[in-house]
Structure 1
Amino acid sequence: MDKTQIEEEMDKGQKSGLSKYFSTTSSSPTMKVPKLCGTNYPLSIMFIVVNEFCERFSYYGMKAVLTLYFLNYLHWDENLSTTVYHAFSGLCYFTPLIGAPIADAWLGKFNTIFYLSILYVIGHVIKSVGAIPTMGSTEVHVALSMIGLIAIAFGTGGIKPCVAAFGGDQFDEEHAQERSKFFSIFYLSINAGSLISTFVTPVLRGDVQCFGGDCYALAFGVPAALMLVALIVFVAGSGMYKKYPPQGNILASVFSCIGFALKNRWRHRSKQYPKREHWLDWADEKYQKSLITEVKMVTKVLFLYIPLPMFWALFDQQGSRWTLQATRMNSDFGGFVLQPDQIQILNPLLILILIPVFDLGIYPLIRCCKVNFKAISKMAIGMILAALAFAVATVVEIKINETLPPVPKAKESYLQVLNLANSELNVEIPGFETIKQPSLHDTNPVAPHYVKLDLLNAHNEFNVKLTQGLVTSNCQIHVHEQSSFSLLVYSEGNNLNCHLFEESQTKPANGLAAVRFINMLSNEANITTGESTVSARSGNASAYVKLKRGKITANCLTGSRTYELDLGLLNFGAAYTVILITVNNDTIELKKTEDVTANSFHVAWQIPQYVLISAGEVMFSITGLEFSYSQAPTSMKSVLQAGWLFTIAIGNIIVLIVAQAGSLEQWAEFILFAALLVAVCIIFSIMGYFYVPANPDDLKDKKELEKKQLQDDNLNAIPMEEK
């Protein structure tokens, strides 16, 4: 099939389906396009920039609340949530390998963006519907969530390699400077969309209540609406775009050339053939030398890419492990309370700050010091900064662990005393020091104070002596190992009585608070907090109820009356016991104690690790993209872009594997990742030391020379009489 036939077939394809309304050729790629007033910027780029802002808002907004959705809505554990989060992220960066060939060889950039954006919107809608509690069983929610995430991954990944390139297509060749500034504006729109959505969607999730809890349906629904807006805006500019027809699948040509070279070399392995300078030279029997030379340049850069996934393995944990870390910290800033998933806003915010700091401050200063700061050196330092970020995250994790409640070991039990008597109480347990416990009537709430009991057997009975002033009573208690108990002591006439309650010593996960009720009323009590109702018979304790952090009011139904209970502030990660007692047979009085202390280590301590990882991103990611483009011939830039995105996919797979193993404590896992990145950085630096930079301009000159030589050869082949 010659070139004319190919163009005719492409024209037939463009006239089918929806492309008859949105032609891939417009009037002509060389048509005169409208310009922004007084500039050389095409008006069409405004639609592309707004489209990118809305698309990035939808993607990062959905992703910001995804981990907590898995934990709190689907009730998965931390390792499974991390695994699925990074599996989704990896798929998002693998699918560009599908989107790029579709655009290059079949649909063209415009139609690829259009069709895959429709799939993208559908995925968001399915994901949002899956977050509505009334939609069915847990299995239905999981199925809808997975279908939605797969559709989103193919949508965002498929259009990723197309949108920026489509924006560049809108500029004439003589306006290269304006095109360069467009890419800066384009990158700004990405970070602006990420910044705003990372702040807004956690607010929609946590501060808006629907269906009796966090409103994940709204938190996913708003990104779905923004993606629909992105599609509408993109289509609205259709008549102004330059739309180049598909130019052929260069990625397939690269793989085909490499495959043929390997196959040809293997076929001739046992025969005597002249040695060839490079293994790709075995492809010169089928492919042009210019293509082989370009593939050599690309494979040399792709070889340098081999260590890069480890950086992304650390970087992408901001949305998983670091978010989970934030749920175990105190995020109250006094004037406002930050949601655990909102802390991710630091990364895009810091990127917007650090880019000019590096470009206008640090890099010029280094040049003034006559230091030759090459691209590979910048990327290596970026890796070290990311490793340092995880070292800081390790310290933060250890400090968080120091605030956790004591966990009884084998042959151990923990006991705290809750004193409902009118004055200080002395509690004597044989073999242990006397406990002096103030009255709850004097101190409320009471911080937990546990005494460790060393047990001789798995179960032990103790005869406890209770003394208050001149009143003395004995109380028999029975405890067992690896458990925690509360001993409630109260006055009844001239006697002291006691009740022993077993309690949970596990800190509530995900920044939630937990509360239980001990009923010292004469009738059974039914206590309602939000959508949860628990019951406690007289003299018994209810189950723990998990609630969001805040000032909570509950309703208590006992006998025929309902009382309003002001529980006060239930703080991040704390577990409380609320004792209900009767006052004058008419009102209920509350006595609140903390069984597990609230999260005390502040989330602001995460800021240093975010600063380090963001500085590492500026030095690694931006420099890496610039380096890749500078080392690639023009026809191969999309290949290297796909290769770069593929390293991000592999990085997420690394996290997926480590999380699924789940055998390390979190601080040890952070240290492992930091150590691996340092080791990879050393390997990358050695590879970079021996790397010889290429100059694509030399290849361009060589191709021009080959073209001229071919023309001369064709001219010499013409008979003299025809000349």
Structure 2
Amino acid sequence: MAKEKGTKETAKKKQTGDDPPRGDFSSQKKSRKLCGTNYPLSIAFIVVNEFCERFSYYGMKALLTLYFLNFLHWDENLSTTIYHAFSGLCYFTPVLGALIADTWLGKYKTIIYLSIVYVIGHVIKSVGAIPTVGDQVVHVGLSMLGLALIALGTGGIKPCVAAFGGDQFEEEHAYERNKFFSVFYLAINAGSLISTFVTPVLKGDVKCFGGDCYALAFGVPAALMVIALVVFISGSGMYKKTPPRGNVLLEVCQCIEFAIRNRLKNFYKQMPKREHWLDWASEKYSKQLINEIKMVTRVLFLFIPLPMFWALFDQQGSRWTLQASRMNADFGGLVFQPDQMQVLNPLLILIFIPVFDFGLYPLIKMCRINFTPIRKMATGMILAGLAFAAAAIVDIKANETILPPPGPKESFIQVLNLANDSIQVTIPGQDLFQQPIAAFQDPAEYSKLTLDGAQQNFRFDLQFQGSVSTFNHTVQEKSVYSLIVCKSEGILSSHLIADLATKPAKGLSAVRFINALDQDVNITIGKDQIISVDKNYSVANYTKLKRGKYNVQCNTEAEEFSLDLGLLDFGASYTIVITNTSANHVEARKMEDILANNIHIAWQLPQYLLISAGEVMFSITGLAFSYSQAPISMKSVLQAGWLLTVAFGNVIVLIVAQAALLEQWAEFVLFACLLFAVCIIFSIMGYFYVTVDPEELTKEEAEKKEMPSNGNEIRLAPRKTKL
């Protein structure tokens, strides 16, 4: 009878409007289904919308780090800082989107309006990437405004779209609803997979305004976001549109604030002891609300260590991309862009999800191992830490070809002997160049020159064919030089020229020409790139070229001839001397000043395998766990808390990038150690965490209310399981 009475009272409440309606039932017609299934047809529009939106977001984000470096000309630390500031903002704004949807517009209108903001942000970002639109200040301003609007758009709709898809299902179709979330996650990764491969190709292979076409590469994601909006609006007539339910998040905050304030106010008073600190809100708020907030705060407390995982995970688009730019990306003629390596993550996710769900997890269960959600998430943390340990090893090997920067009161110098015989170079007070230097010998490495101050005038004694010539050159600290020794019209001379101190960006090669002929030359590279070099050992400026084999045309006043430069490799710096041979032919002698990238980009595969496996165990499990541990009215609150862990993870990267000032490999090791330490803390917290079935608790609370108050109530404990 008690149950029957409760059912009647519930029905009466719904009729009188005491409870908010679950959907817009004004027409009272059932939603259309996909053929032969219990899946509403409306979810097809939602899934396609999510695919296009994720294509838009990840396609744009894949380019950001290199855009900051190469278009806005920021350094690596600033580029990393802005990248993670943007990523963090994208996960702070879901709280704002949830508030708008719950208190004002509802999910459907929130998605529409914020998607329009999203599109505007993309358009502004694309315009800001056009070189002819204003100066550097305009480019930075438009880029930052565009990113701010994109962060508001993508973050604002993030908590709405998945929940809106779940709203389309009837209560009796819970199995189909769970499968929808799997399809939804696959759509996210499919969009990410395609976009992170396509947009770097559009940027690097299509040329516009005389360089990489960032405007087009950002414009395509903008177009996909327009398609996402159009597709979503097209399904409008089929959607169940749940009206706003009120500001649950605000009510939670107010309840917590009242409990704390009430406890402090009565701290010194003789008051009966209460079981939980939130019980101090019972004077104003219902017991059901307090119990639900207790459940949420227990899970939120368990979330405290989680941002460290995201601090590592989100560096795929920043530090790992920068690492890829210092590696050899040639796959037998197919050359990868550094930012294209991010395609591995969504690709591996699409592979790992079925492998784990239908292979690994059932196998572990067959071995009678209780692989709880907490243990899965802890394992995901360990895998992410191992990924960064692998990244540190790769970084150490990749840095072997980098010229270390000279410190204070230091400079690097090499000798290029362009005379026709060996020379002996002596610098008084310096222990350098012990062996004679042969003609046209390619120096193996630079030598370190120690200065007395910020600059110093050095004497160079050159012993050539039995005679000694002395030259004086001024050297600046923290600089890299080549001493050019040449013989013109029987007279020995020397020139000190500045060299590149760092590898060329984007995996390009750098080349400069020295003209040892007695007449000026014009060198044609490609169709229209002409480099003019004066006669008698003049030196041209560096030219940046894509990796490849080059055969260039060289013109003098008297003749035209071709020069085979051979392979100009990733990240290398070359000096090419144009000179006559003994047979009176012109040839090019190539010297490698900065070594080419010799570590193949495929060595990043292990770290991507580990981080992607870690994501499947950590992210998908954590999302499902947070959803299962929240009562129905608090699921949006807990989902917002889950998304905030991602935001705070990016904040951690900002702090470390600005404060640590470590070499990149050491920073990777630091992050790995921090995550291992956090994993231990999380595992201890998880050991003492007891799961609660929110639905069971709700039923028991309802039964308590219906029981007669005769002083002999039976207290029913919720069903709990220790993890």
Superposition TM-score, scaled by structure 2 size: 0.88
CA apart distance, 1:282: 1.1
Residue 197 of structure 1, aligned match among 184, 195, 198: 195
Please name the residue that 2:510 is paired with: 514
* Cα contact 2:24–2:243 (8 A) shared by 1: no
- Once the two structures are superposed, residues 513-571 of structure 1 have per-residue CA deviations (whole angstroms, 9 ceiling, x without a partner) of 22222233445556676897766443321222333334457677766999876644332
CA distance in 2 between partners of 1:292 and 1:151 (Å): 37
Please name the residue that 2:353 is paired with: 355
5+ residue gaps, structure 2, are: 1-12, 711-723
Matches within 5 A, 1:268-279: 268-279=266-277
Please name the residue that 1:393 is paired with: 391
Please name the residue that 1:307 is paired with: 305
Task: Calculate percent identity across the aligned residue pairs.
Answer: 64
Report which stretch shifted further, 543-552 or 307-316: 543-552
Report which stretch shifted further, 665-674 or 407-416: 407-416
SS of aligned partner of 1:572? coil
CA apart distance, 1:504: 2.7
CA distance in 1 between partners of 2:23 and 2:693 (Å): 33
- 1:540 to 1:433, Cα distance in 2 relative to 1, 3 A: closer
- 1:655 to 1:453, Cα distance in 2 relative to 1, 3 A: closer
CA apart distance, 1:225: 0.3
Residue 655 of structure 1, aligned match among 653, 656, 665: 653
**Which amino acid in the other structure matches residue 38 of structure 1?**
G
Please name the residue that 2:57 is paired with: 59
Please name the residue that 2:175 is paired with: 177
Please name the residue that 1:14 is paired with: none
Please name the residue that 1:503 is paired with: 499
Cα root mean square deviation, aligned:
3.3
Report which stretch shifted further, 170-179 or 229-238: 170-179
Please name the residue that 1:42 is paired with: 40
**Which amino acid in the other structure matches residue 514 of structure 1?**
A
* Cα contact 1:414–1:483 (8 A) shared by 2: yes
SS of aligned partner of 1:95? helix
- Once the two structures are superposed, residues 269-290 of structure 1 have per-residue CA deviations (whole angstroms, 9 ceiling, x without a partner) of 2222211111111111111111
CA apart distance, 1:463: 1.8
* Cα contact 1:473–1:496 (8 A) shared by 2: no
SS of aligned partner of 1:134? coil
Residue 422 of structure 2, aligned match among 404, 420, 425: 425
* Cα contact 2:259–2:278 (8 A) shared by 1: yes
- 1:219 to 1:357, Cα distance in 2 relative to 1, 3 A: same
CA apart distance, 1:7: 8.2
* Cα contact 1:473–1:495 (8 A) shared by 2: no
Please name the residue that 1:19 is paired with: none
- 1:609 to 1:160, Cα distance in 2 relative to 1, 3 A: same
Matches within 5 A, 1:163-562: 163-405=161-403, 414-420=412-418, 425=422, 427=424, 429=426, 435=435, 440=440, 446=442, 448-450=444-446, 458-467=456-465, 474=469, 476=471, 478=473, 480=475, 483-490=479-486, 492=488, 498-522=494-518, 536-538=533-535, 539-551=537-549
Report which stretch shifted further, 114-123 or 102-111: 102-111
CA apart distance, 1:708: 3.3
CA distance in 2 between partners of 1:528 and 1:158 (Å): 52
CA apart distance, 1:411: 6.9
Q: How many residues align?
A: 689
CA distance in 1 between partners of 2:77 and 2:525 (Å): 30
CA distance in 2 between partners of 1:409 and 1:655 (Å): 27
CA apart distance, 1:579: 2.3
CA distance in 1 between partners of 2:27 and 2:587 (Å): 79
CA apart distance, 1:398: 1.6
CA distance in 1 between partners of 2:468 and 2:553 (Å): 35
* Cα contact 2:86–2:147 (8 A) shared by 1: yes
CA distance in 2 between partners of 1:188 and 1:116 (Å): 23
- 1:489 to 1:230, Cα distance in 2 relative to 1, 3 A: same
Please name the residue that 1:110 is paired with: 108
* Cα contact 1:104–1:246 (8 A) shared by 2: yes
Answering whether residue 138 of structure 2 is matched by residue 140 of structure 1, we say: yes
CA distance in 1 between partners of 2:523 and 2:709 (Å): 91
CA apart distance, 1:578: 2.2
SS of aligned partner of 1:514? strand
* Cα contact 1:532–1:545 (8 A) shared by 2: no
CA distance in 1 between partners of 2:299 and 2:323 (Å): 36
* Cα contact 2:401–2:594 (8 A) shared by 1: no
SS of aligned partner of 2:464? strand
* Cα contact 1:105–1:247 (8 A) shared by 2: yes
CA distance in 1 between partners of 2:664 and 2:175 (Å): 48
- Once the two structures are superposed, residues 480-499 of structure 1 have per-residue CA deviations (whole angstroms, 9 ceiling, x without a partner) of 46554434455656676654
SS of aligned partner of 2:147? helix
Please name the residue that 2:716 is paired with: none
SS of aligned partner of 2:620? helix
5+ residue gaps, structure 1, are: 12-23, 713-723
- Once the two structures are superposed, residues 345-402 of structure 1 have per-residue CA deviations (whole angstroms, 9 ceiling, x without a partner) of 1111111122222222222222222222221121112111111111111112222222
Please name the residue that 2:680 is paired with: 682
SS of aligned partner of 1:653? helix
CA distance in 1 between partners of 2:27 and 2:626 (Å): 27
Report which stretch shifted further, 26-35 or 668-677: 26-35
CA distance in 2 between partners of 1:150 and 1:28 (Å): 38
- 1:452 to 1:158, Cα distance in 2 relative to 1, 3 A: closer
* Cα contact 2:42–2:238 (8 A) shared by 1: yes
SS of aligned partner of 1:96? helix
- Once the two structures are superposed, residues 219-259 of structure 1 have per-residue CA deviations (whole angstroms, 9 ceiling, x without a partner) of 10000000000001101111111112112222122112111
- 1:702 to 1:7, Cα distance in 2 relative to 1, 3 A: closer
SS of aligned partner of 2:690? coil
- 1:308 to 1:495, Cα distance in 2 relative to 1, 3 A: same
CA distance in 2 between partners of 1:31 and 1:347 (Å): 42
* Cα contact 2:521–2:534 (8 A) shared by 1: yes
**Which amino acid in the other structure matches residue 137 of structure 1?**
D
- 1:696 to 1:26, Cα distance in 2 relative to 1, 3 A: closer
**Which amino acid in the other structure matches residue 389 of structure 2?**
A
SS of aligned partner of 2:195? helix
CA apart distance, 1:635: 1.6
- Once the two structures are superposed, residues 261-313 of structure 1 have per-residue CA deviations (whole angstroms, 9 ceiling, x without a partner) of 11222222222221111111111111111111111000000000111111111
CA apart distance, 1:501: 3.2
CA distance in 1 between partners of 2:305 and 2:452 (Å): 55
* Cα contact 1:417–1:487 (8 A) shared by 2: yes
* Cα contact 1:505–1:595 (8 A) shared by 2: no
CA apart distance, 1:454: 6.8
Please name the residue that 1:21 is paired with: none
**Which amino acid in the other structure matches residue 111 of structure 2?**
I
SS of aligned partner of 2:283? coil
- Once the two structures are superposed, residues 47-103 of structure 1 have per-residue CA deviations (whole angstroms, 9 ceiling, x without a partner) of 111100000000000000000000000001111111110110001001110111211
Residue 615 of structure 2, aligned match among 617, 622, 629: 617
CA distance in 2 between partners of 1:541 and 1:461 (Å): 22
CA distance in 1 between partners of 2:438 and 2:665 (Å): 38
